[in-house]
C-alpha cells in the first residue's frame, strides 16, 4: 500500500528548492500543499483525488490545466523549462491556481521537493526539532530501527541540508558517509534512535543516541571487519562491519559511549576549514 504522506510544505518552499519562477499566483506563496503528484497524462490527473495538491508535469497544454483544476490541484509546476501560453495563464488566474516554471527535470524536481520536506520521505524518519539561528542550524531527527527498505534516507537528507547551506563538497561527502554508517548501525542493531545535526561555520557535529543492545567491547567494534550483523542482514549487502572504522576514518573527532542492554551514543565532529 502507498504510504500516507504528511507534507509540511508551502509553495514558497517549493519555489526556493526548485529555483522556480512563479508566473501565476505570486500572492498565494504561503499556500500549504497537501500532496505532490507527478504525471503527464490528462486521464491520470483527472483520476487523482487529494485536493490541494501540487502537480508536476512536462505536458504544457490547456487540457492539463483544466484537468488539474477539476481535480482540485492548487498549483502546477511545469518542468524542464516548458513555458505555458497566455491562454493557460489566464485560465489559471481566473481559477486562482498557482503556476511555477522550473528548469529541473521530473526526477530532480521530485527529489528536491521530497528533500525539502522532512516528513515527506517516510514515517521512518521524523523531524522532531528544528532550530535556525544566525550561522547555526540544528535539526533533531528520530530513526526507527530494523527498517531496511528505508535505510539511508536520513543521510541523504542531511547531505541535502548541508548542500543548501553551501559547505565544501568534500566535507559534505565525509559527513554523509559517516551519517550513513551511523544510520545503518541504528537500523541493524537498535530499536530506535535520535540523531542531532548541529552545523555552524566552525564545525559540523552529529550525535546519534540509540536505544538498543549496546556494545560490550568498543575497541573490538572499532576493528575493521568486526560485525555482529545476522546472516539476513548480510544478504542485503549491509553489515560488512565497516561502520565504526569508516566513521573514524572520515571524521575529525569521534566519541563512543555505550551501556550494554541500554544503548549507544556516537558523537562525531567535522571541522570546517576556513579559506
Partner 1 sequence: MHEEKCSHIWEMVDVIPCFIITEKCYHCGKIATYFSTEHTPPIEEYREGVHLWNFMGSAQSIKFNLKCTKCDKLEKFDELLGVMMCTGCDEKCEVNVLLKKLEPKRTWIYVAFGYLPIDEKKQLSPKQISILEDYFNQRRKSSKSTIKIVSHKLVNNIANCYAEIIKDVDMLCLTLPEK
Partner 2 sequence: MQLIEIIEKLNLKTLTNVEERNVEGVFISDMLSDVMTNAKSGNLWLTIQTHKNTVSAANLVNLAAIVITHEKEVPQETIDLANRFYVIILGSDLSTYELVSKLVGIGLTP
Strand runs labelled E in 50-189: 54-57, 75-78, 98-101, 125-133, 136-144
From the CB of residue 239, how many other CB atoms can be counted at a distance below 10 Å?
A: 21
**Position 106 contacts partner 1 (CB under 8 A):** no
| Residue 67 touches which member of partner 2, partner 1, none, C-beta under 5-8 Å by kind | partner 1
| Residue 123 touches which member of partner 1, partner 2, none, C-beta under 5-8 Å by kind | none
User: Which positions from 22 through 61 interact with partner 1, judged by CB under 8 A?
Assistant: 40-43, 46, 59, 61
User: Which positions from 191 through 230 interact with partner 1, judged by CB under 8 A?
Assistant: none
User: Which residues, in sequence order, are CB contacts of 265 under 8 Å at separation 6+?
Assistant: 207, 208, 209, 210, 255, 256, 257, 258
91 or 148, CB closer to partner 2? 148
Q: How far is the CB of 138 from partner 2 (least distance, A)?
A: 23
What are the helix and strand counts (H, E) for the chain?
10, 13
Binding partner 1 (rule: CB under 8 A), the pick from 13, 50, 62, 80 is 62
| Residue 192 touches which member of partner 2, partner 1, none, C-beta under 5-8 Å by kind | none
**Dihedral sign for Cα atoms in the order 122, 126, 177, 134:** positive
**Position 248 contacts partner 1 (CB under 8 A):** no
| Residue 46 touches which member of partner 1, partner 2, none, C-beta under 5-8 Å by kind | partner 1
Q: How far is the CB of 123 from partner 2 (least distance, A)?
A: 11
DSSP state of 219: H
Please give the grid coordinates belonging to residue 108: 530532480
Q: What is d(CA 111, CA 251) in angstroms, rounded to the nearest whole number?
A: 27
23 or 111, CB closer to partner 2? 111
DSSP state of 152: T
Q: What is d(CA 71, CA 46) in angstroms, rounded to the nearest whole number?
A: 6
**Residue ranges binding partner 2 (CB under 8 A):** 1-3, 5, 36-41, 44, 56, 58-59, 80, 105-108, 110-111, 113-115, 120-122, 148-153, 156, 236-237
Distances (CA, A) of 11 to 92, 103, 181: 15, 17, 34
| Residue 251 touches which member of partner 2, partner 1, none, C-beta under 5-8 Å by kind | none
| Residue 241 touches which member of partner 2, partner 1, none, C-beta under 5-8 Å by kind | none
Return residues touching partner 1 (CB under 8 A).
Answer: 40-43, 46, 59, 61-63, 66-67
Amino acid at each position: 500500500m502507498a504510504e500516507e504522506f504528511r507534507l509540511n510544505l508551502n509553495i514558497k518552499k517549493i519555489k526556493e528548492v526548485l529555483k522556480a519562477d512563479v508566473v501565476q499566483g505570486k500572492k498565494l506563496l504561503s499556500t500549504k500543499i497537501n500532496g505532490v503528484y507527478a504525471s503527464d497524462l490528462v486521464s491520470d490527473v483527472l483520476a487523482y483525488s487529494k485536493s490541494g495538491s501540487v502537480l508536476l508535469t512536462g505536458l504544457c497544454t490547456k487540457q492539463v490545466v483544466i484537468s488539474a483544476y477539476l481535480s482540485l490541484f492548487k498549483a502546477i509546476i511545469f518542468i524542464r523549462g516548458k513555458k505555458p501560453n497566455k491562454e493557460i495563464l489566464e485560465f489559471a488566474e481566473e481559477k486562482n491556481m498557482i503556476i511555477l516554471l522550473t528548469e529541473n527535470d521530473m526526477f530532480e524536481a521530485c527529489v528536491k521537493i521530497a528533500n525539502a520536506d522532512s516528513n515527506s520521505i517516510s514515517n521512518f524518519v521524523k523531524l522532531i526539532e528544528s532550530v535556525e539561528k544566525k550561522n547555526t542550524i540544528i535539526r533533531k531527527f528520530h530513526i526507527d530501527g530494523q527498517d531496511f527498505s528505508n535505510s539511508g534516507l536520513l543521510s541523504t537528507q542531511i547531505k541535502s541540508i548541508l548542500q543548501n547551506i553551501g559547505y565544501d563538497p568534500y566535507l559534505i561527502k565525509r559527513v554523509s558517509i559517516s551519517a550513513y554508517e551511523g544510520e545503518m548501525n541504528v537500523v541493524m542493531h537498535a530499536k530506535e534512535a535520535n540523531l542531532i545535526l548541529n552545523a555552524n561555520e566552525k564545525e559540523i557535529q552529529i550525535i546519534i543516541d540509540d536505544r538498543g543492545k549496546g556494545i560490550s567491547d568498543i575497541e573490538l567494534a572499532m576493528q575493521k571487519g568486526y560485525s555482529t550483523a545476522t546472516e539476513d542482514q548480510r544478504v542485503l549487502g549491509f553489515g560488512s562491519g565497516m561502520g565504526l572504522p569508516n566513521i573514524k576514518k572520515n571524521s575529525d573527532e569521534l566519541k563512543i559511549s555505550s551501556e550494554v542492554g541500554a544503548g549507544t551514543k556516537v558523537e562525531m565532529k567535522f571541522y570546517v576549514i576556513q579559506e
